[in-house]
Amino acid sequence: MKVVVTGAAGMIGSNLVHGLNAIGIDDVIGVDDLTDGPKYRNLLGARLSDYFDRTEFYTRFAKGEFGRIEAVLHQGACSDTMEHNGRFMLDTNYRCSKDLLDACQLRGTRLLYASSAATYGGSASFREEAEFERPLNVYGYSKLLFDDVVRRMLPAANTQVAGFRYFNVYGPREQHKGRMASVAFHHFNQFRDTGKVKLFGAHAGHDAGEQSRDFVFVDDVVAVNLWFLQHPGASGVFNLGTGRAQPFNDVAVATVNAARARRGDAEALPLAELVGQGLIEYIAFPEALVGKYQSFTQADLTRLRATGCAHRFADVATGIRAYTEWLAQNGPAG
């Protein structure tokens, strides 16, 4: 099976490449922009049959120059939710994806692609329906626009098209994302460097650290993508999260206790004690994020489960324990 992974050196893309290799698929074409050269580290140990810069791949694929490709796992995008250049965002996240969709339909190639929970924005419900889709930024809008195109074309599609609305993904190979890396990544580095982690204080009816998100371990994201790759009859737009919101306090507690365990402090401490010892600290909610911040997300998995995908997702404590081990062994640069 020949497969393409766009955004192959990014967090989810690189984990997908490693995941494909793990199930015996090594005819993998990687596509990315390696202007940020150190991202290559995410692909160390992976088996690729070829690599193309994003500026070259899409045109050549549309012309059919790569022969028979079974599927494209499209992760390439601008994922910076604070990017306000709408022209750039729509060109990168929408137009590129739309052209790729058209080429895949022409070539009979399956398309599995990354959408985002940012499509829901300020909504209190997270079902894949128009009434709940209220993006708070142009990033979320760019993803929603493409999802809408996919939903309109699905009745006439000649091959599988599946989009995944990723919730808050954390895990290995995200170090290049800087400020957009997960809170788990930042907590690990904060604790290593300063001996404590910081969380937002009370805001918009949520107590300190009690803003809650659906945190999903990247290994679970890979597993669901691979399930769809192995089930070509499943198409649509699907939430990809655990289905369980957990507060940021849970992330901080899991990270601090995992780090403490590594240095020999075997006894896990509860939140109150960690706060009391100054290992968790609350800071004022930033003015720049007021009105632009999702204080609660929780994936509704009804449609995902209806496909027959029964994957069991790790909770925060389990996922962060595994992630902390990886970070400790690989260093902050991955």
pLDDT digits (tens, 9 = 90+) for 14-67: 999 999 999 999 999 999 999 999 999 999 999 999 999 999 999 999 999 999
User: Using one digit for the tens of pLDDT, what is the confidence trace for 193-245?
Assistant: 999 999 999 998 999 999 999 999 999 999 999 999 999 999 999 999 999 99
Contacts of 61 (CB under 8 A, 6+ apart): 4, 69, 72, 100, 103, 107
Q: What is the model's pLDDT at position 288? A: 85
pLDDT at 140 > cutoff 70: yes
CA–CA gap between residue 303 and residue 288 (Å, rounded) = 35
- Residue 218's nearest CA partner among 147, 162, 166, 163 is 166
198 is catalytic: no
β-bridge partners, 217: 170
**Distances from the Cα of 23 to the Cα of 130, 245, 287, angstroms:** 36, 30, 46
Considering the candidates 177, 196, 282, 293, report the single residue annotated as catalytic.
Answer: 177
Q: Residue 218 contacts by C-beta under 8 Å, 6 or more apart in sequence?
A: 11, 12, 15, 169, 170, 171, 172, 173, 174
Rounded Cα gap, residues 219 and 323, in angstroms: 10
Bridging pattern class, strands 50-53 and 71-74 = unpaired
Alpha-helix runs per DSSP H in the chain? 11-22, 54-62, 86-89, 96-107, 138-153, 183-194, 218-229, 248-262, 271-276, 302-306, 316-330
The pTM is what?
Answer: 0.96
**Cα–Cα distance measured from residue 285 to residue 263, given in angstroms and rounded to the nearest whole number:** 31
Q: Quick one: average pLDDT of 149-174? A: 98
Query: Which residues, other chains included, contact 286 with Cβ-Cβ below 8 Å and sequence gap of 6+?
Result: 200
Give CA–CA dist 260/268, Å, rounded. Answer: 8
- Residue 145: partners with Cβ closer than 8 Å, 6 or more residues away: 90, 94
Of 120, 139, 170, 323, which residue is the catalytic one? 139
- Count of residues in the chain: 334
- Measured at the CA of 61, the angle between CA 59 and CA 63, to 5 degrees, comes to 75
The token pair at 330 is 């690989």
Distance between CA 315 and CA 322 in Å, rounded?
Answer: 11
Please give the span between the terminal C-alpha atoms of the chain, in angstroms, as a whole number: 29
